Amino acid sequence: MEFNAATIAGFLKGEVVGDPEITVNTFAKIEEGHPGALSFLANPKYEHYLYTTKSSVVLVNRSLVPSGKVEATLIRVENAYESFAALLHLVDRARPRKKGIHPSAVIEPTAVIGRDVFIGPFVYVGENCFVGDECSLYPNVYLGDNTRLGRKCTLNPGVRIYHDCIVGENCVVHAGTVIGSDGFGFAPQSDSEFMKIPQIGNVIIEDNVEIGANVAIDRATMGSTIIRKGVKLDNLIQIGHNVEIGENTVMAGQTGVAGSSKIGKNCMFGGQVGISGHLRVADGTKIGAQSGIPSDVKKDNSVLLGYPAIDHRDFLRSSIIFRQLPELKRKIDDLAKLVELLKKA
């Protein structure tokens, strides 16, 4: 598809600076721009690329005052990053959506399939499942018995959803993710062996959730593991049994949440964050990458770093001391030698 700058500016309620008739048909990073591409500038540290980019059109914030000559046509908007995301979303929606049921798919007679769905090769839909209107199930998806999918869900290749799980509307699950696998529940026995505790609950995923590739969300021992609406999970995340993730919380890759923990709404977790079991994390908490949370976070909007995680300001002050430890050790050794000499004297 090809659009001119004037059309794009109209959609974004922006202002064109340059040639309103210049056209673009693809996207590119500003440092890799080429004729016919649209780029954006949101981070000031990339501003120097604005004066060398070959992109035809660049989205910029209204507040930007160029310090040099710009060859590209600019579209000034309130927020360049949000506007760029809106354009990508528009292009993604414009792509033709597959429909129909492939002859190799297996759909049990008791399953209910909505209108305008796509069910790809080698998909299995179990007994008493419900698949909502305009859902897309790509090859090798598995839906266990009594699973329910709301409208406009997309399950990418190889997604497995075990029995009795519920997924809301407008959810996206990426390849290889498993929803509803057994929680890690084993009871120690007197003979030092472990007896498996049956996991008879389910997983509930509310509306507008996106789950990355190769994520594991365990079913509850009893009751439900719950992912609230608007949650975004990156790739390679582990969510334990009976966990609850609050609305609009986002988690980066390799985060792990142990069983029965409750995460508040609007939280942000960096990569490789670890959350211990049976604790609560307050609303709005931000946790830096590779941090560990061994106990409750009680204060809303906390910003934490380290293990065990502490207030980010205390952690940054402590990190200065960490770097000075070798020099402090040397000084202590020198003082110890001096004390010994004074004793002998």
| Residue at 38: amino acid letter | L
For residues 46, 34, 92, 178, the Cα torsion angle rounded to the nearest 10 degrees is: -60
Q: Which residues of 180-218 are buried (b: 16+ CB within 10 A; e: fewer)?
A: bbebbbeeeeeeeeeeeeebebbbbbbbbbbbbbebbbb
Instruction: Read off the tokens for 39.
Output: 């780029």
Catalytic residue among 102, 241, 278, 312: 241
241 is catalytic: yes
SS3 track for 14-41:
CEEECCCCCEECEECCHHHCCCCEEEEE
In DSSP notation, 202-217 reads EEEE-TT-EE-TT-EE
> Does 294 sit behind a cis peptide bond, omega within 30 degrees of 0 on the bond before it?
no
CA neighbor of 44 nearest in space, from 66, 22, 23, 26: 66
How far is residue 250's CA from residue 234's CA, in Å, rounded to a whole number? 8
Could you count the other beta carbons within 10 Å of the beta carbon of residue 44? 9
Whether residue 272 contacts residue 290, with contact meaning beta carbons closer than 8 Å, is answered with yes
How far is residue 6's CA from residue 159's CA, in Å, rounded to a whole number? 41
Q: Rounded to the nearest 5°, which phi and psi values hold at 43?
A: -90, 120
CA neighbor of 18 nearest in space, from 60, 49, 48: 60
Catalytic site positions: 241
